Amino acid sequence: MDIILSNVSDKPLYEQISMQIKNLIMTGSLKEGDALPSMRQLAKELHISVITTKRAYEELEREGFLETSTGRGSFVAGGNQEMLREQQLRQIEECLQKAVDLAKTSGISTDEVMDILHLLYEED
Amino acid sequence: MKGLIIKDLLSSKGLLSVLAIGAAMMFFYSFLGIDVTVFVVFFIGLLVSVNMFEFDVRSNWDQLAITLPVRRRDIVTARYIFIGLLVTVALIFGLLVNFVLHPDSNVGDMLFENSIVISVIFIYLSVYMPIIYKFGAMKGRYISMMIIVICAVGGYFLSTGAFFENTGLAILHVLNDIKNYLPYLAMGLAAVCYVMSLCASWRIYEKKEF
Amino acid sequence: MENILELRNVTKEYKNFTLDHVSFALPQGMIMGFVGENGAGKTTTIKTILDVVKKTSGEIYLFGQPIEQDSLQMHEDIAVVYDDCSISSFFKIKDVERMFKSFYKNWDTAKFNTLTERFELPGDKKISAFSRGMKMKLQLAIALAHNPKLLLLDEPTSGLDPIIRDEVLDMFLEFIQDETHSILFSSHITSDIEKIADYVTFIHKGKIIFCENKDDLLSHTGLLKIKPAVFEQLDHDSCIRYRKTLDHYEVLIKDRYAFQKKMPDAVIDRVTLDDIMLMYVKGETL
């Protein structure tokens, strides 16, 4: 699993892990039903404590991203499309809020901002 | 416990030269008609026991041995068995050498002498081993040397001092009377001493810290 | 059985040193790093756990049983590696194999041979000719070859070059992939502990100073550098220790995330285990 941990990040390790796994799920790298490495395996891979990976997995399970069954391991949970969408919408709103704030302080009009938005969407 | 005896056996590889010299001496002197079995066996018993303990101290063996799936007692028992066997084998070897080189010797006399000898050696070991367990190999050596010196000096006085003439003669009389039973008494006494010594060593070793 | 090893108020009195009410627990499936300066009591603690040294008071539980019960099975399930090699110098590797095979029920000859090969230990030399590092590797091979559940290691990586050290640490991580296994190892090579430990227990002058989750400890603890004026106004609860330098104060902060929120302008550095230990020993309390 492609997880890179940063020592200099602002966030504690378990948060970094859960965020990156969430990211992998949301971007589709991890699909519903995919098996995740066990907490111990992941701890060994990343050279961190199993307590940390356990915490990350527990948080992901609480938020509905993972399903863990003893003996079989941890799998990406199904049926969280709604939740993902919600999250993504929330994030977009946050980003746009920042853009709006910036626009207001610089005296840039809503129309100008909308133009940029259209351009960006068409860029694909 | 078998493993512990194997360990002592493997360790005695380091003493092979000593044992070889002992065997060679027995051959050599036997040729000359002198029976050095007593001395050789005594010194082998002494040397091997001291060295076995010293090896252990030098390699910090006990702190590991105690963590093995063996009881502390077994560590002691294995040592006693090993030394006892070694001394007995050395003695039998000496007897055989003498018998092979002098087939006409009196078997009865030889067995009589050697039973007394082996009993003395075992009684000595019975005193010596708990001392080593209690005080360690280094101090144990000095203490045992002191005991030998004291016994030698005491024996000297006993044999020459007119002061002890009467008691000495009386003892000799008694010994003469029980002459036939002496080997069995001696060996019995030695066996009892050795077992008592084992129990004493058990108690010492069970309390010891490393 | 939650804790594979538990010490409660273990005390051992010597003339010039006392192990003073040492308490900590090692859960199953975890690695605990045991740190402290030389003479702090690490070896003594390990020896009291093994009953090689007799504790004066307190309780020790191994696999849920008090060590007084001293069952032979307990000994089958533990492996010890000491700082000083405990195998006779006359032996060669095959002698060692023969000997230990007769001691342990679960001795795995194939595993022992694989390990000694991996460690490149010469089969034709006596142990007296081994270097310190080689002796350590031999002890590790013996320890792992009888399939124990608990490893008690006293400075297991000292004397090893960094490459082998990394391999050994990897072996330890491999060892606890089995959740019923645990490791307690003491080391003054704190970087090794930072790499693989789940818990860190710090002992100083016979007393346990802390026993913490390593990741939390290293990510949350921070070192704050501030001017004397600001120092006066610090909230005592968030500070563990402080040190005064020529022109500023260094303060060890318990939770730098929380602290950063309270003082957004503060400069809080991350710390290493060495930094933490140094502050606990040399620093003062508020």
Domain ranges of chain B: 2-207
Name the residue type at position C220. H
Quote the pLDDT of residue C261. Answer: 83
Inside any domain, residue A8: no
For the segment B186-208, the average pLDDT, to the nearest whole number, is: 94
For the segment A84-95, the average pLDDT, to the nearest whole number, is: 81
Domain count, chain A: 2
Residue C268, C-beta contacts closer than 8 angstroms, at least 6 positions apart: C222, C223, C224, C253, C256, C259, C260
> Where are the alpha helices (H) located in chain C, listed in sequence order?
42-49, 72-76, 93-103, 109-118, 132-145, 162-175, 190-196, 214-220, 228-232, 256-262, 273-282
Higher confidence at residue B145 or residue A83?
B145
Q: How far apart are CA C65 and CA C6, in angstroms?
A: 10
Q: Give partners of A (≥3 CB pairs < 8 A).
A: C
Tokens representing A40? 């111990």
**Four-point Cα dihedral C8, C81, C30, C12, nearest 10:** 10
Fold of C3-213: Rossmann fold (3.40.50)
Q: Is the pLDDT confidence value at B67 over 80? A: yes
Which of C68, C81, C86 to mutate to test binding with chain B, by most B CBs within 10 Å of its CB?
A: C86
Give me the residues paired with residue A35 across strands. A75
Cβ of A40 within 8 Å of Cβ of C179? The answer is yes
Cβ of C219 within 8 Å of Cβ of A12? The answer is yes
Which of C52, C147, C151 to mutate to test binding with chain B, by most B CBs within 10 Å of its CB?
A: C52
CA distance A51 to chain C (A): 7
Q: Is the pLDDT confidence value at A81 over 70? A: no
Is C in contact with A (3 or more beta carbon pairs below 8 Å)?
yes
Higher confidence at residue B30 or residue A93?
A93
Of the candidates B3, B61, B69, the beta carbon closest to that of C88 is on B61
Q: Is the pLDDT confidence value at B146 over 60? A: yes
Higher confidence at residue A28 or residue C282?
C282
Establish how many alpha carbons lie within 13 A of residue C236's alpha carbon, considering only the half-sphere containing its beta carbon.
3
Quote the pLDDT of residue C259. Answer: 87
Inside any domain, residue A6: no
Residues A66 and A17 in one domain: yes
Q: What is the DSSP letter of B164?
A: G
Tokens representing A90? 């929330």
Quote the pLDDT of residue C31. Answer: 96
Q: How far apart are CA B45 and CA B124, in angstroms?
A: 10
Cβ of B209 within 8 Å of Cβ of C53? The answer is yes
Residues A48 and A70 in one domain: yes
For C120-163, the pLDDT digits (tens) are 999 999 998 998 889 999 999 999 999 999 999 999 998 888 99
- Count CB pairs under 8 A between chains A and C: 40
| Domain finish residue from A41, A57, A76 | A76
Inside any domain, residue A33: yes
For C163-183, the pLDDT digits (tens) are 989 999 999 999 999 989 999
For B83-107, the pLDDT digits (tens) are 999 888 888 888 887 777 777 777 7
pLDDT > 70: what percent of chain C?
Answer: 100
B168 confidence band (pLDDT: 50, 70, 90):
low
Report phi then psi at B7, rounded to 5: -60, -45
For the segment C10-17, the average pLDDT, to the nearest whole number, is: 94
Cβ of B66 within 8 Å of Cβ of C50? The answer is yes
Which of B1, B4, B7, B71 to mutate to test binding with chain C, by most C CBs within 10 Å of its CB?
A: B7
For C17-64, the pLDDT digits (tens) are 999 999 999 999 999 999 998 889 999 999 999 999 999 999 999 999
* Alpha-carbon distances, residue B128 vs B40, B53, B72, B141, C264 (angstroms): 18, 12, 19, 9, 75
B160 confidence band (pLDDT: 50, 70, 90):
low
Of the candidates C47, C85, C90, the beta carbon closest to that of B14 is on C90
User: What is the residue range of A48's domain?
Assistant: 13-76
Give me the residues paired with residue C203 across strands. C208
Q: Which residues of chain C from 10 to 69 reach within 8 Å of chain B, CB to CB?
A: 47, 50-54
For A28-69, the pLDDT digits (tens) are 788 888 888 988 889 888 888 899 999 999 998 888 888 888
Quote the pLDDT of residue A66. Answer: 87
Higher confidence at residue B67 or residue A25?
B67
Quote the pLDDT of residue A63. Answer: 81
Find chain C residues with C-beta within 8 A of B51's C-beta: none
Inside any domain, residue A3: no
Quote the pLDDT of residue B162. Answer: 56
Q: Which of B149, B14, B12, B145 is nearest to B90 (CA)?
A: B12
C107 confidence band (pLDDT: 50, 70, 90):
very high
Is A in contact with B (3 or more beta carbon pairs below 8 Å)?
no
B143 confidence band (pLDDT: 50, 70, 90):
confident
Q: Which of A6, A17, A97, A93 is nearest to A60 (CA)?
A: A17
CA distance B75 to chain C (A): 12
Q: Is the pLDDT confidence value at A105 over 70? A: yes
pLDDT averaged over chain C?
92
Cβ of C198 within 8 Å of Cβ of A12? The answer is no
Residues A30 and A62 in one domain: yes
CATH number at residue A59: 1.10.10.10
Residue A98, C-beta contacts closer than 8 angstroms, at least 6 positions apart: none
Quote the pLDDT of residue B90. Answer: 85
For the ranges B171-175, C77-81, C220-224, the lowest mean pLDDT is seen at B171-175
pTM score, whole prediction: 0.84
Pairing label, strands C31-35, A73-76: unpaired
Quote the pLDDT of residue B163. Answer: 55
Cβ of C89 within 8 Å of Cβ of B58? The answer is yes
B161 confidence band (pLDDT: 50, 70, 90):
low
Q: Which of C132, C5, C126 is nearest to C81 (CA)?
A: C132
Q: Exposed, middle or buried, C263 (CB in 10 Å: 0-12/13-18/19+)?
A: middle
Q: Does B210 touch chain C (CB under 8 A)?
A: yes
Question: Could you tell me where in chain C the CATH 3.40.50.300 domains are found?
Answer: 3-213
CA distance C35 to chain B (A): 22
Q: Does C264 touch chain A (CB under 8 A)?
A: no
Quote the pLDDT of residue C264. Answer: 83
Q: How far apart are CA C245 and CA B112, in angstroms?
A: 86
Length of chain A: 124
Higher confidence at residue B37 or residue C277?
C277
Of the candidates C170, C215, C257, the beta carbon closest to that of A52 is on C215
For the segment B183-196, the average pLDDT, to the nearest whole number, is: 91
Find chain B residues with C-beta within 8 A of C126's C-beta: none
For the segment B101-129, the average pLDDT, to the nearest whole number, is: 82
B154 confidence band (pLDDT: 50, 70, 90):
confident
Quote the pLDDT of residue B40. Answer: 79
Quote the pLDDT of residue B164. Answer: 59
Cβ of C105 within 8 Å of Cβ of B69? The answer is yes
Quote the pLDDT of residue C193. Answer: 94
Residues A56 and A94 in one domain: no
Task: Please report, in angstroms and rounded to a whole number, the separation of the first and last CA atoms in chain B.
Answer: 20
For the ranges B30-34, B82-86, C209-213, C231-235, the lowest mean pLDDT is seen at B30-34
Q: Give partners of C (≥3 CB pairs < 8 A).
A: A, B
Q: Is the pLDDT confidence value at B30 over 80? A: no
Inside any domain, residue A1: no
